[in-house]
Structure 1
Amino acid sequence: MSGTEGFKMVRADDRYLCNLPLFHVGGTIPVMGMLARGGSVAIIEAFSTGEFWNQVRDTRSTCILLLGAMATFIVKLPASLQDRDHTLRTVIIVPLAEDARAFSERFGVTVWTLYNMSEISTQLVSGPNPPRTGICGRPREGAHVRLVDENDCEVGPGEVGELIVHAGDPWSLNSGYFRNEAATAKAWRNGWFHTGDAFRINEDGDWVFFDRMKDAIRRRGENVSSFEVEAEVARHPAVNEVSVVGVPSELSEEELICVVACVEGMSLDPAELIEFLRPRMAHFMIPRYVRIVDALPRTPTAKIRKHLLREEGVTPATWDREAAGIRIRRDKIG
């Protein structure tokens, strides 16, 4: 039952609405969790923002796992008197890019989050309605996890490190990659599985997602979490979906480009977006480039294909705030 221990928020009288492919861990593990508890499962062909609440009502589902982008799409729907006219009571949002308490209050549900990937077994699980975005929870009972630097030495309190996992029970983690000994050796070095994800532990003891190691951006001597920037950009009412990646800088390291798709029927002024972001994040996190597209490229499991956005880089249609005369510097104190 590895992995299902993390789904402590579902009960025997729940009905889980499966909206992810069953070849994906986000589809498989919740279904296994429901079967382990004697609950029921409703399977739909695909997630649809416009049909979401009708699908919940038609299947009388009580719980669901939503990818972060799906939750954002739902939040962007106009407020309605039917926001609480449904059977849903438990929503698991992964990763937690939305305000859990606001989501809970609007839709009358309890929000949870967790951390998992295909190779491991739900090592981190939150409590109900986590207080901050980015939280992934705390190690569940039986989890063996550490945060380490590039030499596998544990990082200090509050510092960012890579999450590594050790198997507490036989066969609770993957044992390697099929016909790829090099990848297996790299991931399993020193007897611990290296997730490739960076975290820090906050002052309350919650494990907070920083970024995929490969997606973290280095800008003018500062490490920038693309996840944190994306979470703030997504709060703009005109933004439906967003991805932030690094592109080469003419000076050194990288600059941030923000690729945005707007809510249907709305438009976005890049300069206004920058002003929206200024009080919300450190000066070095504010993107230099803004590119507006119809939709972001996604995989069948709704993950954004960031490598395509990096390859496309700064296109002729990309807005450059420095070319527009907008330069942002560190705020002075006093």
Structure 2
Amino acid sequence: MHLSALLDSAVRSGSTKEAVVYREQRWNYRELGDAARRAATVLRDAGLGPGDRLAVMTYNTPAFLFAAFGAWSLGATLVPVNHKLQTDEVARQLKHCGARVALVDAEIGERATAADPGVRWLVSHPDAPTDELPADSFEALLAAARPWTGEERPDSDVAEILYTSGTSGTPKGCVHSHRTAALTAAYSAATMSMRGDERFLICMPIWHAAPLNNMTLGTLFAGGTVVLQREYEPRGMLELIQRERITALFGAPIALIAPLQAVPDHADYDVSSVRAWLYGAGPLDADTVRRLMKAYGTENFQQVYGMSETGPAGASLLPAEHADKAGAIGRGGMPGVDLRVVRPDGSDAGAGESGEIWLRTDTRMLGYLDDEAATAEVFAGDWYRSGDLGRIDDDGYVTLVDRMKDVIITGGENVASQEVEGALRGHPDVLDVAVVGRPHPQWGETVVAFVVPREGAGLDQAGMRAWLEERIARYKVPRELFLRDALPRTPSGKITKHVLRAELA
């Protein structure tokens, strides 16, 4: 199914039903469809056409959804951009995907527009009163535009380029068609038992693959309501759950833990409407799960596992399985996904053994953008090689052991260690560096740097942070700095990061 057809179908099924909520603003499905068609006209007038790439760098606002469906209606490709990136990082991504037109939130506009003045930038002012909107704002242009009319395009068209950090530190763009994205939505709706009366809170960044394809598109596929929290904040999340009678939400483990730490009166909020507390980007141990269940007064926690390359689709640990199997990612794949744990010789691992997790699903990406070698490396026939190491227990449940790919996941964000290392190597006082993740009960992992300073240098944590914050996003900046005379290496000269991880453990 083409994603614009997905929305059209939802409009026909329930035109007056609430589709999107943002602060005090509300759109039913008919109004969402109308806004999407008007956005298509605005984007066409800005120079976007079939096959072109639209970069969108916003918070969780309606403009993101309007622009996405508008681009898809035109036959263009959506390229979600991390709103936390710095100018140089944005420039690299825009150049790599070849974006012709871009939409940015006014709050971060200068940081983004400086990245590539050759791109046609549209600026969104989602919180400005109607009578105070700049005439050239995305919202003003939307209100003045005539709804676009055009023929539906095939679902084999490219719908999205989702960027993910790789082991080299160079961003890779996962190319997804409308079919793979729509199937991800359908498989997710089945896995999470989404219903037409769903009220799903999108509190994690919508430009991430899971909040976009699994949660937002899954909810719209089921005919439910998407409630947008502009940017995650613990008390704000609890307020929205209570006010909007949220039935489901998704977050990195820290997003569910933070309210218990940062909101002293968290127990005073009514969260009884939530039927599904979904979490991903890292497992929760049994003790933490029990603490969350007690605090929120429910056992309805569900873990989801996947990656941008597969939609993301992968595996899920259901609420009833948490009592005995908390920490596992599930038993086999979620609906529509086949999962194997594979030994180095290509055979299936047995109970008690570890191996690489392989996934086979129709939601898998078409490939990495302009990178045939990297694409060939991760595919084995119909199977996607995740690079994650998993261990099977006697009951067939799979637990993540480690990542073969050298990526640190902190608070749900992927950090390529080599990208951070590259930024640190530019520091005049750094001679050698290695960046690894330290396990953390709330964030999943935190970023740690081991640095060999130049002789006589006075490198410290504050100086390192100041240097890096001008070059990379803040969540990538190491939380800890350890100075060393030398780093452990193999005889061939490669740094043995497992030695450093063992030190931290």
- Does the alignment reach a TM-score above 0.5? yes
After superposition, the C-alpha distances for 1:82-138 in whole angstroms (9 at most, x for unaligned) are 355133332101123253343123212411111111111422122115134422122
- The Cα offsets for residues 187-227 of structure 1, whole Å up to 9 and x where unpaired, read as 1134421112121122332221222223499xxxxxxx968
Is it true that 1:230 corresponds to 2:437 in the alignment? no
- The Cα shift of 1:74 comes to 2.5
CA contact (8 A) 1:211 1:226 kept: no
Distance in 2, matches of 1:188 and 1:103, equals: 38
1:135 to 321, 328, 333: 328
Unaligned runs of 5+ in 2: 1-181, 409-435, 453-464, 485-501
Q: Is the CA contact 2:235–2:263 (under 8 Å) kept in the aligned structure 1?
A: no
**1:16 matches 2:200:** yes
Aligned-residue offset at 1:33: 1.3
Which of 284, 302, 312 is equivalent to 1:97? 284
What does residue 162 of structure 1 align with?
356
Quote the Cα distance in structure 2 between the aligned partners of 1:9 and 1:82.
27
Aligned residues: 250
- Post-superposition Cα deviations, 1:257-282, rounded to whole Å, max 9, x if no partner, equal xxxxxxxxxxxxxxxxxxxxxxxxxx
| Partner of residue 192, structure 1 | 383
Report the 3-state secondary structure (helix = DSSP H, G, I; strand = E; otherwise coil) of the residue aligned with 2:227.
strand
Q: Which one of 176, 180, 184 corresponds to residue 3 of structure 1?
A: 184
Q: Which TM-score applies when normalising by structure 2?
A: 0.43
Cα 1:48–1:153 change in 2 (3 A) is: same
Please tell me whether residue 243 in structure 1 is matched to residue 436 in structure 2.
no
Tell whether the 8 Å contact from 1:198 to 1:210 is kept in structure 2 after alignment: yes
Letter of the 2:301 partner, please give it: V
- Shift of residue 145 of structure 1? 1.7
The alpha carbon displacement at 1:165 in A equals: 1.5
Instruction: Give, in whole Å, the separation in 2 of the partners of 1:107 and 1:242.
Output: 24
Give the distance between the partners of 1:213 and 1:9, measured in 2 at CA.
32
Say whether the 8 Å CA contact 2:351–2:396 is kept in structure 1.
Answer: no
Q: Structure 1 residue 31 and structure 2 residue 234: aligned?
A: no
TM-fit CA distance, 1:140: 2.2
The 5-angstrom pairing of residues 42-57 of structure 1 reads 42-57=227-242
Secondary structure (helix, strand or coil) at the match of 1:135 reads coil
Identical residues among aligned pairs (%): 24
* d(CA) in 1 for partners of 2:290, 2:194: 19
Aligned-partner Cα distance in 2 for 1:75–1:159: 36
Aligned-partner SS, 1:34: helix
User: Secondary structure of 1:55's partner?
Assistant: helix
Task: Provide the alpha-carbon RMSD of the alignment.
Answer: 3.7
Letter in 2 for 1:3: T
Alpha-carbon distance in structure 2 between the residues aligned to 1:309 and 1:3: 33
* CA gap 1:72/1:241 in 2 versus in 1, 3 angstroms: farther
For the residues of structure 2 that align with 1:81 and 1:185, how far apart are their CA atoms?
48
Larger Cα-atom Rg: 2
Q: 1:205 to 1:79 in 2, by over 3 A?
A: farther
Tell me, in whole angstroms, the C-alpha distance in 1 between the residues paired with 2:446 and 2:315: 25
Counterpart of 2:277 in 1: which secondary structure?
A: strand
| 1:133-186 superposed Cα distances (whole Å, 9 cap, x missing partner) | 42212222332221123443322322221111123x4xx211211101111011
Residue type of the alignment partner of 1:114: V
Q: Does the 8 A contact of 1:162 with 1:197 survive in 2?
A: yes
| Aligned 1:54-203 pairs, distance under 5 A | 54-77=239-262, 80=265, 82-83=267-268, 85-86=270-271, 87-94=273-280, 95-97=282-284, 99-109=288-298, 110-121=300-311, 122-128=313-319, 130-131=322-323, 132-138=325-331, 139-167=333-361, 169=362, 172-203=363-394
Give me the TM-score of the superposition, normalised by structure 1. Answer: 0.63
Supply the AA of the counterpart residue of 1:88: V
Measure the CA separation in 2 of the matches of 1:230 and 1:68: 11
Structure 1 alignment gaps of length 5 or more = 218-224, 235-239, 250-292, 317-327, 329-334
Residues 253 and 444 in structure 2, CA contact (< 8 A), matched pair in contact too: no
Higher helix proportion (structure 1 or 2)? 2
SS in 1 for 2:210: helix
CA distance in 2, matches of 1:244, 1:22: 23
| Cα contact 1:200–1:210 (8 A) shared by 2 | yes
Distance 2:445 2:209 in 1: 23
1:37-94 per-position Cα deviation (integer Å, ceiling 9, x unaligned): 1111111211012322112223332210011221232332466473551333321011
Provide the secondary structure at the position in 1 that maps to 2:274. Answer: coil
1:283-312 CA-partner distances (Å, limit 9, x unpaired): xxxxxxxxxx9xxx9x98x9x53xx549x7
Could you say what secondary structure the match of 1:16 adopts?
A: strand
- One-letter amino acid of the structure 2 residue matched with residue 243 of structure 1: T
